[in-house]
């Protein structure tokens, strides 16, 4: 008599739930992914039993010989349990590979128990084992995906924060603004920089803006293009742009790349740029007394 | 007196012609403006032209080209031309379109442009 793999697994979990749980726990210990330094025995066991129970629950409503669609409704509880456990464990510093091993450690004990139960019917044993293997693999993949999604979210958030922090327009003097650029200047940031700068020009009625690239790590043709476009937009608004912080090395690179700045004013340092800006808006800096030299 | 329905008006102050372009300007309007402006520069012997585009919210390549042309025509007729009041979004669009009006002078506002013209004795 052949029994469907789902029924067989379901029966195993119903009749020997604690046995499977203990064996899973033991395998994790043996493989070194149990992390007793981070989780008490009780907490770990609760996590495992949550997962197993959600799994047993889903087995009542699904046929595991079918392809596993982890995003289907029937797995919703298991997904929730997996996400929660992954979150708790990663927050305490469990590595991604450990989390995967944590899940995969369920395979071996279940295989062993199945082969005891089904020693008389090797065909059924093989079917159950292979189906079960697929399901556990799907869980492990889900954990990985969860990891990547979490990480992407963090990266996205940090990117947004960096974007906000990294384009501050500062008023240096009446009608003189500066925007110190730091890091890398990709298209998205260049757009942000330009928008911020142009809006600030309107806000402050600025006539001169100093775009300082001292902190820009690499100046290639694309970055140069972004800078020149910003300068062009500034000019269209009726203000003048000075690009400062052009180191000797950057100057050489720009010429080698064939970048032509046209009529855009450039200065090696922000100090030189500021002096030029003062000159254009009609101010000058003078020493108040000669004795302090 | 310029009719209200027109999308651009030309005012004469001292020797400077002020052109105010409204947002709903059509392609026909702008071509008429080009003719009117050239006529008036010559008739009134204007030495300065200020084109205020503060009301302009949307530009395309056509408007961009006409703006560049207006400046070139005025310059040929010996009137120094300033384009003033450009909005940030318009400036970004023009740069994006590759039309950064290389031959035109720009200023933040009408008063900035008038100040520059006065400094040169043109107003």
pLDDT per residue over A21-58, tens digit each? 999 989 988 888 888 888 888 888 888 999 999 988 88
More confident of the two residues B7 and A265:
A265
Q: Chains A and B: how many Cβ contacts under 8 Å?
A: 55
Smallest Cα distance from B10 to chain A, Å: 21
- Confidence (pLDDT) at A184: 82
Do residues B100 and A235 make contact, with C-beta atoms less than 8 angstroms apart?
Answer: yes
Q: What is the ipTM of this complex?
A: 0.82
Q: Does B108 touch chain A (CB under 8 A)?
A: yes
Whole-number average pLDDT of chain B: 86
pLDDT per residue as tens digits for the range A146-190: 888 888 998 998 888 877 776 789 999 999 999 999 888 888 888
| pLDDT range class, residue B5, cuts 50, 70, 90 | very low
Residues in chain A with CB shorter than 8 Å from the CB of B86 are 236-238
Distances (CA, A) of A21 to A3, A43, A98, A101, B105: 23, 13, 18, 15, 79
Distances (CA, A) of B26 to A57, B6, B33, B65, B86: 68, 10, 11, 14, 18
What contacts B10, CB < 8 A, 6 or more positions away? B2, B17, B18, B19, B33, B36, B37, B40
The whole-angstrom separation of Cα A6 and Cα A9 is 5
Q: Span A63-83, mean pLDDT?
A: 86
Q: Does B94 touch chain A (CB under 8 A)?
A: yes
| pLDDT range class, residue B2, cuts 50, 70, 90 | very low
List the single residue in B with minimal CA-CA distance to A175. Answer: B108
The whole-angstrom separation of Cα A194 and Cα B96 is 12
Q: Does B37 touch chain A (CB under 8 A)?
A: no
Q: What single DSSP character describes residue A207?
A: S
Does the pLDDT value for residue A288 go beyond 80? Answer: yes
Round the CA-based radius of gyration of chain B to a whole number and report it.
Answer: 13
Q: Span A222-227, mean pLDDT?
A: 90
Does the pLDDT value for residue A292 go beyond 80? Answer: no
In this complex, do A236 and B95 lie within 8 Å of one another by their Cβ atoms? yes
In this complex, do B88 and A205 lie within 8 Å of one another by their Cβ atoms? no
Do residues A94 and A48 make contact, with C-beta atoms less than 8 angstroms apart?
Answer: no
In this complex, do B95 and A202 lie within 8 Å of one another by their Cβ atoms? no
pLDDT per residue as tens digits for the range B53-100: 998 888 888 888 888 888 889 989 989 999 999 999 999 999 999 888
In this complex, do A233 and B100 lie within 8 Å of one another by their Cβ atoms? yes
In this complex, do A238 and B109 lie within 8 Å of one another by their Cβ atoms? yes
Smallest Cα distance from A52 to chain B, Å: 57
Smallest Cα distance from B84 to chain A, Å: 7
pLDDT per residue as tens digits for the range A86-139: 888 888 888 888 888 889 999 999 998 888 888 888 888 888 888 889 989 999
Which of A193, A237, A261, A262 is the best residue to mutate to test the B interface, defined by the most B CB atoms within 10 Å of its own CB?
A237
Q: Does B91 touch chain A (CB under 8 A)?
A: yes
Which of A204, A236, A264 is the best residue to mutate to test the B interface, defined by the most B CB atoms within 10 Å of its own CB?
A236
Distances (CA, A) of B42 to A246, B5, B16, B39, B70: 46, 25, 12, 5, 14
Q: Span A228-257, mean pLDDT?
A: 92
Whole-number average pLDDT of chain A: 88
Three-state DSSP class for A217?
coil
In this complex, do B86 and A207 lie within 8 Å of one another by their Cβ atoms? no
- Confidence (pLDDT) at B7: 67
Smallest Cα distance from A100 to chain B, Å: 48
What proportion of chain A, given as a percentage, has pLDDT over 70? 97
Residues in chain A with CB shorter than 8 Å from the CB of B107 are 238
The whole-angstrom separation of Cα A264 and Cα A233 is 12
Helix, strand and coil content of chain B, in percent to the nearest 5, comes to 40, 20, 35
């Amino acid at each position: 008599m052949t029994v469907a793999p789902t029924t067989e697994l379901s029966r195993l979990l119903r009749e020997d739930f604690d046995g499977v749980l203990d064996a899973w726990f033991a395998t994790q210990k043996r493989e070194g992914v149990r992390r007793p330094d981070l989780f008490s025995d009780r907490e770990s066991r609760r996590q495992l039993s949550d997962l197993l129970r959600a799994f047993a629950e889903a087995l009542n409503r699904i046929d595991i010989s079918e392809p596993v669609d982890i995003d289907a409704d029937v797995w919703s509880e298991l997904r929730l349990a997996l996400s929660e456990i992954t979150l708790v464990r990663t927050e305490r510093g469990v590595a991604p590979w450990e989390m995967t091993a944590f899940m995969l450690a369920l395979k071996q004990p279940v295989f062993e128990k199945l082969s005891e139960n089904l020693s008389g019917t090797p065909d059924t044993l093989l079917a159950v084992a292979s189906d079960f293997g697929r399901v556990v693999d799907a869980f492990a993949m889900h954990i990985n995906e969860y990891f990547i999604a979490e990480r992407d979210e963090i990266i996205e958030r940090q990117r947004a924060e960096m974007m906000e922090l990294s384009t501050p327009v500062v008023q240096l003097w009446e009608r003189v603004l500066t925007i110190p650029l730091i890091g890398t200047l990709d298209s998205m940031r260049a757009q942000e920089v330009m928008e911020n700068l142009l809006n600030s020009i309107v806000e402050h009625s600025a006539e001169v803006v100093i775009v300082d690239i001292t902190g820009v790590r690499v100046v290639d043709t694309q970055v140069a293009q972004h800078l020149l476009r910003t300068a062009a937009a500034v000019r269209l608004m009726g203000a003048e742009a000075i690009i400062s912080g052009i180191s000797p090395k950057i100057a050489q690179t720009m010429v080698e790349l064939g970048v032509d700045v046209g009529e855009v004013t450039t200065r090696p340092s922000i100090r030189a740029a500021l002096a030029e800006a003062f000159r254009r808006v009609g101010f000058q800096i003078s020493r108040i007394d000669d004795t302090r030299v | 007196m310029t009719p209200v329905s027109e999308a651009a008006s030309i005012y004469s102050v001292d020797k400077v012609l002020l052109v105010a372009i409204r947002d709903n300007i059509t392609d026909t309007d702008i071509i008429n403006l080009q003719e009117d402006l050239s006529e008036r520069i010559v008739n009134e012997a204007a030495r300065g032209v200020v084109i205020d585009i503060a009301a302009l919210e949307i530009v395309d390549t056509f408007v961009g080209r006409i703006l560049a042309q207006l400046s070139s025509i005025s310059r040929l007729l010996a009137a120094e031309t300033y384009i003033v009041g450009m909005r940030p979004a318009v400036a970004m669009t023009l740069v994006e379109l590759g039309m950064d009006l290389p031959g035109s002078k720009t200023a933040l506002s009408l008063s900035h442009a008038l100040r520059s013209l006065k400094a040169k004795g043109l107003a």
